[in-house]
């Protein structure tokens, strides 16, 4: 399925107005009405699941606010101001990034370039866990000078829920006493992690998951994906365009095959299971091998994708058992696996799917607790063994 997403394809796709945002028609309509009426709030909170376009819309809204020749629908997309916002480099635009107390300017520019190239990949791009007090102090310094221009100034705070308590308290002072001409736009996938005092001082706009149709259409039009591939990726992504891009880049055919091998291992004895898991993730008593067994971040991302594939494969298997092959086929994420799914249900008639999905939920929790890949997969294959052989 790998599509080799080139920088050439990515560059510039975001360089026009709201109509190029994927889905989110309600949110866009509300913001366009605000722009037309001129009744602008000083702070906005965009909240919704990961990968649904909150930051992409925030950048487009900022561009409309700073545009030299705005239209009724938003930014003109042609003026020097629009081009600067495209690169997240406008002098009246500040993007408050998570990072260390003292972030290197080159590193900050690198992150901004990545966000400008693909604004749907916020969580994948911004990996640092906190927005520090020092970063918010930069905002207050920026606000004191940048808002004096004709179009004012805009501050974007992606992943705002990562603010430390001290940073949130400092931001609250800015929200309580906003500088003239300053607009703040916060985005978050976890609004409950923000202090209620901050949420209450923002105009809140909720972003739902994208539809499969919207995701598939965007993959075909913007990344030249094959329509069938785009539809399968859209179903896998559950309305998360960032995840869809990850799936599009991945070799998922090998993932499907590995999922089948994993389930075959689950019906075997404990020794065979351990040998199979060891072939996936090395295990040893020496320190060097232990370090290898605890996968690096990029490899852990592959592990998470594998757990997702297992979940989808088993969900398809359950549909085939409950509805029958013909009725289930239009609903399957990967209909190419239909024959294998039928054999799975024929050979294993008593699979406890509730127990299987419970085991996957537990594996997901272990992943988030950073449990080693070997222990996670060994525990999962043994729980599958009990659920499949009941």
Q: How do the domains of the chain map onto residue ranges? A: 7-208, 251-388
Q: CA nearest 377: which of 362, 355, 358? A: 362
122 phi and psi, to 5 degrees? -55, -55
Instruction: Give, in degrees to the nearest 5, the angle at Cα 182 between 177 and 187.
Output: 95
What are 273-285's pLDDT values in tens digits? 999 888 887 644 3
Name the band, by pLDDT with cuts 50, 70 and 90, for residue 179.
confident
Predicted local distance difference test score (pLDDT) of residue 213: 94
Tokens 């149709």 correspond to 213
Q: Please state, in angstroms and rounded to a whole number, the distance separating the CA atoms of residues 182 and 144.
A: 9
Please tell me which residue, 240 or 15, carries the higher pLDDT value.
Answer: 240
Q: How far is CA 183 from CA 43, 145, 215, in A?
A: 6, 13, 30
Distance CA 334, CA 312 (A): 9
pLDDT confidence bin for 317, thresholds 50/70/90 = very high
**Residue 364's pLDDT band (boundaries 50, 70, 90)?**
confident
DSSP E strand stretches across 34-128: 43-47, 93-95
Q: How many degrees, rounded to 5, is the angle at CA 153 between CA 152 and CA 156?
A: 150
Q: Residue 240 has what pLDDT?
A: 92
Report the chain's mean pLDDT, rounded to a whole number: 85
Q: How confident is the model at residue 1 (pLDDT cuts 50, 70, 90)?
A: low
**CB-neighbour burial class of residue 345 (10 A; exposed 0-12, middle 13-18, buried 19+):** middle
How many alpha carbons lie under 13 Å from residue 299 in its C-beta half-sphere? 12
Report DSSP state, residue 209. Answer: P
pLDDT at 16 over 60: no
Q: At what angle do helices 353-368 and 297-323 cross, to 10 degrees?
A: 170
Structure-token pair, residue 169: 């308290």
Amino acid 89: pLDDT: 94
Fold adopted by 7-208: Rossmann fold (3.40.50)
Whole-angstrom distance, CA of residue 5 vs CA of residue 304:
21
What is the token pair recorded at 86?
């495209």
**Strands of 203-206's sheet in order across:** 93-95, 153-157, 182-188, 43-47, 203-206
> 125-162: per-residue pLDDT in tens?
888 889 999 889 888 778 777 656 678 899 999 999 99
* Sequence-ordered alpha helix ranges (H) in 87-132: 105-117, 122-125
The dihedral built from the CA positions of residue 36, 37, 41 and 45, taken in this order, carries a sign that is negative
The kind and range of the H/E element at 205 are strand 203-206
Q: Any idea which of 55-59, 146-150, 366-370 has the lowest mean pLDDT?
A: 146-150
d(CA 34, CA 28): 10
Distance from the first to the final alpha carbon of the chain:
35
Beta bridge partners of 44: 185, 203
The owner of tokens 């994993």 is 262
305 band by pLDDT with thresholds 50, 70 and 90: confident
């Amino acid at each position: 399925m790998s599509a080799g997403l080139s920088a050439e394809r990515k560059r510039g796709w975001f360089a026009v107005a709201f109509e190029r945002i994927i889905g989110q028609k309600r949110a866009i309509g509300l913001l366009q009405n605000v722009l037309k009426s001129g009744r602008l709030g000083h702070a906005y909170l965009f909240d919704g699941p990961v990968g649904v376009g909150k930051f992409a819309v925030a950048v487009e809204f900022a561009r409309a606010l700073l545009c030299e020749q705005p239209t009724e629908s938003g930014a003109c997309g042609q003026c020097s101001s629009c081009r600067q916002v495209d690169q997240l480099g406008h002098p009246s635009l500040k993007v408050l990034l998570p990072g260390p107390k003292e972030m290197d300017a080159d590193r900050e520019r690198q992150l901004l370039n990545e966000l400008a190239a693909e604004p749907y990949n916020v969580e994948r791009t911004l990996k640092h866990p906190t927005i520090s007090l020092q970063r918010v102090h930069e905002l207050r310094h920026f606000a004191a000078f940048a808002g004096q221009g004709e179009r004012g100034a805009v501050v974007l705070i992606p992943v705002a829920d990562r603010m430390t308590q001290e940073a949130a308290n400092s931001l609250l002072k800015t929200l309580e006493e906003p500088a003239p001409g300053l607009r703040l736009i916060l985005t978050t996938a976890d609004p409950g992690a923000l202090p209620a005092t901050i949420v209450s001082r923002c105009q809140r706009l909720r972003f739902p998951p994208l539809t499969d149709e919207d995701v598939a259409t965007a993959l075909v039009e913007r990344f030249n994906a094959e329509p069938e591939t785009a539809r399968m990726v859209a179903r896998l992504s559950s309305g998360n365009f960032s995840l869809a891009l990850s799936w599009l880049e991945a070799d998922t055919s090998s993932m499907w095959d590995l999922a089948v091998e994993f389930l075959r291992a689950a019906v075997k004895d404990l020794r065979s299971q351990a040998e199979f898991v060891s072939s996936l993730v090395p295990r040893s008593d020496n320190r060097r091998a232990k370090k290898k067994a605890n996968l690096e971040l990029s490899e852990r991302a592959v592990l998470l994708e594998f757990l997702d594939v297992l979940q989808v494969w088993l969900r398809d298997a359950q549909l085939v058992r409950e509805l029958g092959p013909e009725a289930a086929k239009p609903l399957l994420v990967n209909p190419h696996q239909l024959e294998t799914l039928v054999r799975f249900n024929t050979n294993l008639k008593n699979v406890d799917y509730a127990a299987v999905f419970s085991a996957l939920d537990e594996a997901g929790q272990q992943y988030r607790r950073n449990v080693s890949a070997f222990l996670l997969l060994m525990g999962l294959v043994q729980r599958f063994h009990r659920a499949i052989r009941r």
